[in-house]
Amino acid sequence: MKLQEPQTVLITGASSGIGSSFAQLFAQQGYQLILASRSENKLNELSQSLHERYQTKSIVIPVDLAKPDGPPILYERVKSYTGTLDVLINNAGVGSYGFLHEQNITAELEMLQLNIQSVTHLMMLVLPDMIRRRSGRILNLGSTTSFYPCPLSANYSASKSYVLSLTEAVANELSGTGVSVTALCPGGTGTSFFRTAGMDKQKVASTASLMSPEKVAQAGYDALMKGTTVVVPGKQNWLLTQAPRLFPRKMITRITRGVLEQTL
């Protein structure tokens, strides 16, 4: 059922994958969309497709959230277009693969800026107004790696652990305010993530074991609307997140490294 009065959602990393799937879901429900990513061409294509299919109004904002000035630039653009932001989907993020000491320092620091700093920055920008209105929802994209360290993807898994911890802490702080925050923690998903991270030859990137971005986004959307703090789509993925409670952390770390080392 569509909204009687359109609300506004900002989706970062909206040009493809899970972000694009979120855009489809919110468009179906009659939201006004603000679509943000680095790829203006892809955003325009998505905006046009959504308009043709759902008659949805979309605002396209090309922005690089891997740069420190990205979040405030995005926020100011959003405020210039709409006075009220009802939902924030902090979806933008990237990964990397390899030994930490062999990684490109600039690229790794930009990943941390995107996966950690921009998520926190945007939350801190939008939350005061949401709390004043006693209404608002935020979703942060975590990962099953939010629950355990991953050698060969050390910065990425650490960044997703941060996202989960931040979300759970702020969810507690927001109790009674009318505002909720949700961490969506999927496992391997059929997007361009593994190729971009340089992991397309790893066994974990096998399409047979990947969940579709549509299913991941649907699980996140449902949890967001219920005000659920943490959601892990898929029973197998959920079981994986429970392993650190059952086995020593050193064992879990050896296992995750072994999994990431396996090639197709």
The answer to whether position 232 is within a domain reads yes
What pLDDT sits at residue 204?
84
The answer to whether position 144 is within a domain reads yes
Share of the chain above pLDDT 70, in %: 97
Question: Could you say which of 54, 156, 162, 221 is catalytic?
Answer: 156
d(CA 117, CA 68) in angstroms, rounded, equals: 8
Mean per-residue pLDDT over the chain, rounded = 94
- Count of structural domains, the chain: 1
pLDDT at 209 over 80: no
The residue that leads in pLDDT, 140 or 202, is 140
The residue that leads in pLDDT, 200 or 101, is 101
Rounded mean pLDDT of 238-242? 90
The answer to whether position 47 is within a domain reads yes
18-22, 115-119, 236-240: segment of lowest average pLDDT: 236-240
| Nearest C-alpha neighbor of 200 from the set 188, 211, 212 | 188
3-7, 67-71, 82-86, 219-223: segment of lowest average pLDDT: 3-7
DSSP secondary structure code for residue 201 in this structure: T
The answer to whether position 32 is within a domain reads yes
What pLDDT sits at residue 196?
86
The answer to whether position 250 is within a domain reads yes
In this structure, are residues 138 and 86 in contact, taking their beta carbons and an 8 Å threshold? no
Rounded mean pLDDT of 226-235? 96
pLDDT tens, residue by residue, 8-23: 999 999 999 999 999 9
The answer to whether position 1 is within a domain reads no
What pLDDT sits at residue 150?
94
What pLDDT sits at residue 193?
85
pLDDT at 137 over 50: yes
Which of 110-124, 198-212, 250-264 holds the top average pLDDT? Answer: 110-124
pLDDT at 198 over 90: no
CATH code, domain carrying 152: 3.40.50.720
What pLDDT sits at residue 1?
44
* Active site annotation includes 156: yes
Domain containing residue 64:
8-261
d(CA 242, CA 252) in angstroms, rounded, equals: 11
Classify burial at 119, counting beta carbons within 10 Å of its beta carbon; exposed 0-12, middle 13-18, buried 19 or more: buried
pLDDT band at residue 208 under the 50/70/90 scheme: low
Classify burial at 150, counting beta carbons within 10 Å of its beta carbon; exposed 0-12, middle 13-18, buried 19 or more: buried
Q: If residue 29 lies in a helix (H) or strand (E), which one and from where to where?
A: none
